[in-house]
Structure formats: structure tokens, C-alpha cells
Amino acid sequence: MTAEAPAPAPRAPFGQRLATARRARGSLCVGIDPHPGLLTAWGLEDTPAGLERFALAVLDAVGPVVAAVKPQVALFERHGAQGLAVLETLLTRGAEAGVLTIADAKRGDIGSTMQAYAEAWLGEGRPLAADAVTLHPYLGFESLRPALDLACVTGRGVFVLALTSNPEGRQVQHAGGAESVARVIARAAAEENSGTEPGHVGLVIGATVGDAAHRFGLDLPALNGPILAPGVGAQGAGRQELVATFRDALPLVLPTSSRAILAAGPDVVRLRAAAERTRDELG
């Protein structure tokens, strides 16, 4: 009996694919956050049909000029099953268009449940599988194991919350003093990325956190993986804050902005121009 050949990897590793996308189209990620107020401002109804028109218009406008798009899952979930169907369509169209998709689902649970979340967002052939998903580690970093491992197998990625952009995050993430929660999470993520290639385990660190990463001793250049940085635009951060927050880890940073860019729609030309301008300003 001959041994079966191992199944070929479904796609190149996420770290590699992200690096290629950034070289081709720069480092911006645009958040697709279909808030009801934005739908109204775009002249759309707050319904699954309005949601679909909004989400696909954003993809068409910005997909060719940015590295990634990040649909905010909550804003699709609020439309129930039909909203999730729109998300499914968006993720499929994103893959067809060659722009990376990051599902902002912020999942995290005990291992047995985490296995199901991992399959849902990172599993091969799953309807909602994206190129990467956001995870929260507050049941313990190791509880994320099913997602960390499955992402590696399927050539996908994860972004683990470390220092979030909202001020309330400090209560949990700064706890522990010198050995802060954020530092423990950052170190655990770096251990997943050992190797020469850029790894598939990223962190989320808000561009609004000031010098917290430095103050708490996070060794960000050692992460060898991407840092998703929300907080630019509507939450007040810009290029100056990115430089001050990330210092020598800036090459790892993928800034992400939602409302500040989406407000330029529904005109596709203006929307694309807003994404290009933000991308170029943030450098």
C-alpha cells in the first residue's frame, strides 16, 4: 500500500500574502462598517438589500487600492440570517477581487467552542471563511489554539487583541504592571511566529494608545507578524500617532479606518480617492 501524498496547501501562508498585497497596494485596510446612519447618508435603506449595496460598493471602490478590507461582523449580524448571507457574498467577492478580507468578529471561547469558531471563520470551504479573523484572548491565549493552528494549515491569519483603541480597554489590558496582560499576549503571539517568514499571528493595537506598548515593554519588532491598528480617522489618530505608538515596529503596521473613509460614499470615485488619500497620508 502506498502512502497518500499530503494534501497541497490551499494557498500561500497569510504572512506572505499580506506582504505581497502591501507591496502591490500599500498598507491600508478599509473597514466595512455599515452603520445604519451611514446607510441613510448613502440614500440606502437599513435593510439587507441596503447592506448589500453598501458593502459591495465599498469593495468595488477600495478593493483595487488597498491591501485589505475588514467587514465589521456585528453590523451584518444585526440584519440576521440575511445579513450574514450578505457577508458571505462580500467575502466571496473579495477573494475573487484579490483583496484580503479580515472578518472583524472578535471571537474567543473555551477550546471546544473555539474549534467551531475556527472552522467557521478559517476553515477550508466554510461559507464565512475570510483571510483572517480578529480574536480576543481573555479566556487565555492558549484557548485560541484551534484558531491559531487551523489558520496556519489553511494559509489564513488571526489578529489577537492586545491594546485596543478604546479607553476602557486599559482596565484589563494594562493590568499586571510590568508583566501586563498586553505584554503576555504580545509575547505569546510572537512565539507562534517563530521562523524567517512573516507569521500568521497578528496583534491588534490601537493607534490611539499613545506610548502604552513602549511603557509596558511589548517587544513589537520581535512579533514577526502584522499589527492591525484601528483608531485612525474617526477615533482621532493620524500619521503622527502611528509613528509615536509603533516606533521601530511601524513596518509591521496595517492601519485600518472605517467611518472616516466610508463617509466619502456613495460616489465610488470619491470613496476610492478617500481611501487612496488616507493610504498615502498614513504612509
Ligand X SMILES: O=C(O)c1cc(=O)[nH]c(=O)n1[C@@H]1O[C@H](COP(=O)(O)O)[C@@H](O)[C@H]1O
Which positions touch ligand X (CB under 6 A)? 31, 33, 72, 104, 134, 164-166, 204, 206, 230, 233-235, 256-259
In whole angstroms, the minimum distance from the beta carbon of 58 to ligand X comes to 12
**Would you call 70 a catalytic residue per the annotation?**
no
**197 vs 215 by CB, closer to ligand X:** 215
**155 vs 233 by CB, closer to ligand X:** 233
Query: To which H or E segment does residue 88 belong?
Result: helix 80-97
Determine contact, residues 95/127, Cβ cutoff 8 Å: no
d(CA 57, CA 54): 5
**What are 246's three cell numbers?**
509603533
In whole angstroms, the minimum distance from the beta carbon of 217 to ligand X comes to 20
Which residues make beta-bridge pairs with 132? 102, 157
In whole angstroms, the minimum distance from the beta carbon of 263 to ligand X comes to 9
Determine contact, residues 154/122, Cβ cutoff 8 Å: yes
In whole angstroms, the minimum distance from the beta carbon of 185 to ligand X comes to 13
Neighbours of 260 (CB within 10 A): 17
**29 vs 188 by CB, closer to ligand X:** 29
Q: 266 preceded by cis ω (within 30°)?
A: yes
**108 vs 230 by CB, closer to ligand X:** 230
Which position among 11, 35, 93, 106 bears the catalytic label? 106
Residues with active-site annotation: 106
